[in-house]
Every structure is written in structure tokens, then in C-alpha cells.
Amino acid sequence: MSFNYSTIFDEDLSPDDPLFWSLPTPVNCDSVRTLGIFLCIAALVGIVCNGALVYSFARYKALRTPSNIFVMFIAGIGLFASCTILPLTGTSSIYCQWLYQRAGCQFSAIVAFLYGCASSYLLCGVSLSRCYMIVRPFKAKDVTVNKCIIISIISILIAFIWTMLPLMGWNEYTMDAARTSCCINWYDRRASYVSYLFFLFIVVYCIPLVILVIANRITLQGLKRMHQNIENGIQTGLNRKRIEMERRIVRSIIITTCGFIVTWTPYAVTFFASAFRGKEYALPPMVTFSCACIAKSSVIWIPMLYIGTSTHYQLQFVNQDALNEGIPNNRGNTVLPNIPRLSRKIDDIAMNPVRRGTVDN
């Protein structure tokens, strides 16, 4: 199934002409409007979920553990994306045309690709830190909050550089085929445009996917060995608690990997295929727009994953009772993925507990 984009793009209409940015969508308006409503709802859900995480990390210092630092940055940029790209694309889709001219288009595309690139790298940071602390529990203290902050900032800066390249002449930001959202120009066959698509496909999709799969596989193997060691030893209360934590980690690993594949693979395949097919025989506009909407939905599932798999988020911003039970300040601890608390004193289950008076009601 292919589509000739020459039938919907006016070659004589320059992007410098304001009319270029206000043409109506060439596809069925009802279908586009339905996706627009979905994006507006996703924006509200994303604001609530990411806002809940940002609020919790800002208020409770006990939650700001090394691995959770990556989650905190994901929530921060996810909140910004939920307040910008989703409302811009959603409202334009409801009206079946882009409403925000060229400046709004470029801003929306920059934020979208910044979030996509940065969240991919930060998810890798979560998986790698979790893998290190599971495989080498007695060296977990090497994973510090400051190191994770530095790595997170570097990841976002790298993603920012990738998103600035189209503004410097390597590809460009323009309207997508449905004309209600903006993206990089993936239907132009010029060498500089196609090469940028290949570049993004490798550094934003393939490399993070390989890291996620390998790191999570090693983590699962480490958890399996840990489970076998626990079964061969004395079943203490601590060991039973670790087994329950293992189950949550496995569930988190499966959802994280599958979520990344489901949300980003359709979009990655779409623009990668477009690099070969070109404007005359590209995929239909509704297909590419739907894939873009699925990718944008990652602002929802990432925070919902960590809220759903955490013992400290239960129908509230933070489960007060869980915090009061004792969250160690051990650098090897992580809250949201529920990694077992492994330290040199393995039998010490509650080192440096958080006192009730230190957490605001």
C-alpha cells in the first residue's frame, strides 16, 4: 500500500508563504479529529501522571535515589511535552488543519523529538543502573545520585544536539502528510535528508533498543541467580520480601521493553521505509499520523509504568505508610523499579529509616 504525496503537496507553495501552514488536512477529517481528541485526553493524563511524579520527587527527598533520578528527568520532560506538543497537535487535529503557523510547527517538532530522544536514553540509564546494582550489589554504592544527575543531563544535551541539526540544514522540520502535526521531512529524497533519517534510526531507536534488551536480559539472569540462592538458603522475612521485589522488577522489565518497542517501532519503521520509497510512493498520511500519535503516547505509559509498579504510589501522589516503613538512604536502593536493597550488611533490612516527622503530611 502506497500513496503519492505529490497529489497533496503544492510544489509551488513555499513554506515562507503563510498559506502553506494553514491548508486543510487531505485525509478524512473525522478520523483525524478522533485522533485529535485522543491526543487532548492524553495531554491531560500526561500532565496528571508526570506532574504527580515531579511533585513527589520534589517533595520527598527519600524518593530521589540514583535510579529514580532518571525517572525524575523523564517525568520532567514528559510534563513539558504533555503541556506543549500534545495540545498543539490535538487541537489542530480537531480543527483538521495546523493552527500555529511555522513557528509553532518548528517548536512542536523540536519538543517532540527532544522528548523522544531524551526519554530513550534515560530509559537506558534506568536499565543500566538497575542492571549494575543487581549484578554487582556490593558495588552499588558506586552508583550515586550526583553521577546519575550528570548522566541524565548529558543524555538530554545529546538529544538536544540531535534535534537542533535540522535547524542547521541537515534535514528540516515541516508539516507531516496529515497537515495537523509537525515532524522532520521524511519524504524528501535528497541525500542530506535521507542520511539524517538513517542517523536517527540508528542512534535514537536501534542503539537504545539494543541496550534495553541486553541490560534487561542480564538483569533477569541476575535475578534468577539471586532467586536460586534464596531458595537454597534460609527463608527469612527479608528473603521473602526480596522475592516479591523480584516479581515487580520482572514485570517492570517486561513492560518497559515491550512499551518501548510498541510505541516507537511503528514510527521508526515508517520514516525508515520512507527513506527508500520517497514522496511518490510513501505510506498513506493516516498511517504515518497514527504511528506518530502512538509514539507521542509514551508520555503516558512511562509515568504510569513507574507509578503502577511502585509500592509508594497508590491512588495518591505518595504512599505515606510505605515511606514511613523506612526507605534507606543506601545508594544501592531504588524505589520505583523496586530493586532489592542489597548492601554489605545484607541482613540489615532497614538502614537509616525515614522518620515520620521528616515527611510532610
Domains located in the chain, CATH noted: 18-358 (1.20.1070.10)
Give the pLDDT of residue 94: 94
Map grid coordinates 552499588 to a residue. Answer: 140
| Beta strand spans in 96-211 (E) | 173-175, 182-184
Q: Compute the distance between CA of residue 101 and CA of residue 15 in angstroms, rounded to an integer.
A: 10
Q: Which residues of the chain have pLDDT under 50?
A: 7, 235, 314-320, 322-323, 326-361
With beta carbons less than 8 A apart as the criterion, state whether 120 and 260 touch: yes
**pLDDT for position 74:** 92
C-alpha to C-alpha distance for 256 and 90, rounded to whole angstroms: 26
Matching residue, cell 523523564: 74
pLDDT at 26: 87
Task: Name the burial class of residue 157, with classes exposed (0-12), middle (13-18) and buried (19+) by CB atoms within 10 angstroms of its CB.
Answer: exposed
- Return d(Cα 196, Cα 166) in angstroms, integer: 9
pLDDT of the residue at 258: 83
For residues 134 and 128, what is the distance between their CA atoms, to the nearest angstrom? 10
Side chain identity, residue 35: L
Report pLDDT for 320. Answer: 47
Tell me, what's the pLDDT at 360? 44
pLDDT score, position 318: 44
Per the rule left: phi > 0, alpha: psi between -120 and 50, beta: everything else, 338 is left
Q: What is the pLDDT of residue 239?
A: 59
Identify the bridge partners of residue 229 per DSSP, sorted by sequence position.
none
